[in-house]
Structure 1
Amino acid sequence: MAYPVVREGDKLVVLPPEGASWLPPALIVPLKGTGRFTACGPHVCVPTDIEGMAPVTADYVRPLFPVKGTGTLTFHLMPAHKAAHSNTKGGLPLVIDDGRTKLAYTYTVSVAASNDKGSDPTPPTSGNAEFLRLPMPRPVNAG
């Protein structure tokens, strides 16, 4: 089955870890595409565009720990995000969005959220993100 390709200009919407909130509330990461061809203008994304991007800084709070904590996010694609039969001229699979499978991320905390009595004893370590794709004038799918 073929699914829409992910391309430069699309975004990752990072869902907050369970029991935590991002500061600011919406964490949206724009994507760059380095694939060797384009889909309706922008370059397509290959796995290294997402899994190899520089860590993204994100601040979080929890209800009992209102003083923000800080950390960085790194993203991990699932097998469902890599086109098995469509690839770039260099042989890299295209990144696709099946509309169901969420991306995973690792959250490395450098400063835990806190309150006046101490720090968050179990800061978040992982979570999910999903693609927010820009509209295309015509469908470009891969599978």
Structure 2
Amino acid sequence: MKSRKIALYPGTFDPITNGHYDIIERARNLFDEVIVAVAESKDKNPLFTLEQRIHMAQIAVKNLNGVHVVGFNNLTVELAHEHNAGVLIRGLRAVSDFEYELQLGYLNNSLDEEIETVYLMPKLKHAFISSSIVRNLLKFNGKTEHLLPIEVQKIIGSLN
């Protein structure tokens, strides 16, 4: 029997964006299962609570078979072990992301040599989107409909 290929896509997802969704779809085409892992990330001082971010991610991916969402507050490699994930997914939007992501990939591999990191790029139309850009727009009631999944936009609108 062929073993299932499980990938873990960790991040803060504060909030989950169309860029994240694009990466999740691409990962789902490559792996049998994709786990979207929402980090507590208290040190980043997220705008949304962990529960809100998990809920937004669950709503955003509800129609994608083989994708599910978990929250976590431990090392990514430990979470990967808990879920039998052998691959970590990381998104790259620009060259500026590369150095940090490369260091993170090497760090995770130093903790577990069996863990592979796969870097995926979103479609060009989503390449500029980041959660920090969305949060800045939200602070000033700026337009974010084109940056977020529709269901996530509705949730955020209901919180205000």
TM-score of the superposed pair, with normalisation by structure 2: 0.24
Return the structure number with greater helix share: 2
Return the TM-score normalized by structure 1: 0.26
The structure that has the greater radius of gyration is 1
**Which structure dedicates a bigger proportion of its chain to strand?**
1
